[in-house]
Structure 1
Amino acid sequence: MAFSIFSNKNRIINLVLNDHSIRFVELKQVDPPIAQKWNERFLPPGIITEGKITDIDSLTNILEECIDEWKIGRRQVRFIIPDPLVIIRKVSVPSDIQDDEIKGYLYLELGSTIHLPFEEPVFDFYMLEKNGKNRDLLLFAAPEQYVMEYANLFSTLKLTPVVADISPLALYRLYHQLNQPAKNEVLFSAQFDLTSVNMSIFEGTVPLVMRQFPLSFDIDKWEMKRDDTGTVHFKYIGDTEDLVYQFEDILKEINKLSDYYRYSLSKEKRAVSKFLINGDHPLLQAILDEMKERLEVPVEMISLELGAKDKGGSTPAKLFLSLGLALKEVQ
């Protein structure tokens, strides 16, 4: 059982904040992944916008209430860097640069030979294959200013940020834990949330590309209810044609990214071999059914059959991202 040598107050908590929610999971065990505790809080529009904190006072007050209500004060925290802030880019470095020199080289080249749409990034990288005089790597980057706003907020509220992760890796970690991926699998992961869709394509365990597609969200067109477990449920009360058009736009973006991977990124012109669907969108099952009808390759959802029997039921699918985050550095 994971973390069995620690007392409750020392267990790391896992927080996911996006434009419309705060979610938290505390891991009970790793195999199979089971949540010890979990909870969520809906965020009204305008507090976080496209991943950036736009109303720090309101977010501070709400998060302070959550910490008190969920009894997670003075804990270490893993958190997800919001998808709109993250860029994944393939870059090349000279082959003669030693592994322990690569990060310094990247620092020097950012802004000159390596261009990002923001200054002063925080970044990490993953080495790919050598390519003659160069070595390819994947660069994962986000603007330091906005990432540190989250870290500083947690610190202000007496939480200690210890790990920052990105959602495609967190979800793939859970998928890999629960499934045995096929050999040479090319996985298209699509995270359908209430206000956005995040798409990424994996070769093996490596996310080669990621795209963020925002969804228009009018809170007046959704009816919100909270059940006895604290889970928030949404029911659409607007014109269903609007959702149909929205899905058609998403499907076009999925097809465009699939083609981009096959004809521009894949050296062997390989195609996507599986779609993995997840997220907190209230119509996720309908989206899954429609994609199964439209696409010629398998479309699946992450299945957690042995999920946590906490609060009288299994861990909701909307918490899977937090659960995947909880598996970081414990596998």
Structure 2
Amino acid sequence: MSISQTSLGIELRQDRIIVSHLRKFLKRLRVTKSDVLPLTPTKVKEEGHLEIINVLQRFLNDNNLPKDNVVLALPREKALVKLIEVPAAAKENLRKVLEYELGKHIPFPPEEASFDFQILEEKAGSLRLLLVVVKKEDVNEYLGVLKRMGIRPLAIEIVSTASANLFYFDEHPAEAGPQVLIDIGNQFYEFHFFEKGEFKEAFHFSFRNETEKGKE
């Protein structure tokens, strides 16, 4: 394996694409290129898809960036993020347990959902989890857009969890004090709290702009 590795992060939002090209050399991570690519708002889905393709392809060509080792970050609005607890006995078969219990945590049928999770804390008799759920149709939609460009992402995240990965490159995580990651979107803001390089808590607040308020 090469000691120098690169990856391309593509974050999709409703009004923009954020692209970051990263290079890892030994234990250091460096952003070699990053930009925000504006998108024109449209209510026609195919028009929006074509603009994503054209804007992103132009950026990749202009900067001579490869299409491999891509990590896709879905719009935060497409994901449901919850902190839940399950019995500690479920650990050995946790994914199956969550599949069975998923309907208790989401407002749509479990068969329409894709999900992933992370164990945050093991306590006496229970596990504290971060659960992230998105609709399969949303995942397939964005994968379909990138497939038309010849891109097959290695991983899919939401921006909050993707950004949190930066903390894992801290050379001395055990010595790190409390840290806060703030994500501000068009209709939400979100706080993620870390301590000693580990995720501890999250708070999500939704809001509406003046145009939406006027429609009521």
TM range (shorter): 0.7 to 0.9
For residue 105 of structure 1, give the secondary structure of its aligned residue in structure 2: helix
* Aligned 8 A contact 2:39 2:51 in 1: no
Q: CA separation in 2, counterparts of 1:5 and 1:179?
A: 18
Match of 2:20? 25
Between structures 1 and 2, the one with greater strand share: 2
2:116 is equivalent to residue 124 of structure 1: yes
Q: CA separation in 1, counterparts of 2:136 and 2:149?
A: 20
Match of 1:36? 32
TM-score, normalisation: structure 2:
0.75
Offset at residue 125 of structure 1 (A): 1.4
2:146 is equivalent to residue 154 of structure 1: yes
2:79 to 86, 89, 93: 86
2:48 to 55, 60, 64: 55
Q: CA separation in 2, counterparts of 1:15 and 1:182?
A: 30
Q: Which runs of 5+ in 2 are unaligned?
A: 212-216
Q: How does 1:182-221 map to 2 (within 5 A)?
A: 185-193=177-185, 195-204=186-195, 205-214=198-207, 216=209
2:168 is equivalent to residue 163 of structure 1: no
Q: CA separation in 1, counterparts of 2:124 and 2:152?
A: 41
Check 1:95–1:145 CA distance in 2 against 1; reply closer, same or farther (3 A cut): same
Check 1:207–1:78 CA distance in 2 against 1; reply closer, same or farther (3 A cut): farther
* Aligned 8 A contact 1:84 1:212 in 2: no
CA deviation profile, 1:199-239 (whole Å, cap 9, x unmatched): 12325322532415356399xxxxxxxxxxxxxxxxxxxxx
Check 1:53–1:188 CA distance in 2 against 1; reply closer, same or farther (3 A cut): farther
Match of 1:135? 127
* Aligned 8 A contact 1:121 1:143 in 2: yes
TM-score, normalisation: structure 1:
0.52
Check 1:212–1:71 CA distance in 2 against 1; reply closer, same or farther (3 A cut): farther
Q: CA separation in 2, counterparts of 1:89 and 1:151?
A: 24
* Aligned 8 A contact 2:190 2:205 in 1: yes
Q: CA separation in 1, counterparts of 2:137 and 2:174?
A: 39
Identity of aligned residues (%): 20
Q: CA separation in 1, counterparts of 2:2 and 2:205?
A: 34
Larger radius of gyration: 1
* Aligned 8 A contact 2:7 2:21 in 1: yes
Offset at residue 98 of structure 1 (A): 4.3
CA deviation profile, 1:251-305 (whole Å, cap 9, x unmatched): xxxxxxxxxxxxxxxxxxxxxxxxxxxxxxxxxxxxxxxxxxxxxxxxxxxxxxx
Q: CA separation in 2, counterparts of 1:67 and 1:83?
A: 24
- Across the aligned residues of Structure 1 and Structure 2, the Cα RMSD in angstroms comes to 3.4
Q: Which runs of 5+ in 1 are unaligned?
A: 219-331
Check 1:42–1:207 CA distance in 2 against 1; reply closer, same or farther (3 A cut): farther
* Aligned 8 A contact 2:70 2:155 in 1: yes
Check 1:94–1:117 CA distance in 2 against 1; reply closer, same or farther (3 A cut): same
Q: CA separation in 1, counterparts of 2:2 and 2:187?
A: 33
Q: Which amino acid aligns with 1:38?
A: S
For residue 107 of structure 2, give the secondary structure of its aligned residue in structure 1: coil
- Between 24-33 and 36-45, report the one with greater CA deviation: 24-33
1:76 to 69, 73, 77: 69
Match of 2:214? none
Aligned length: 205
Q: CA separation in 1, counterparts of 2:85 and 2:46?
A: 33
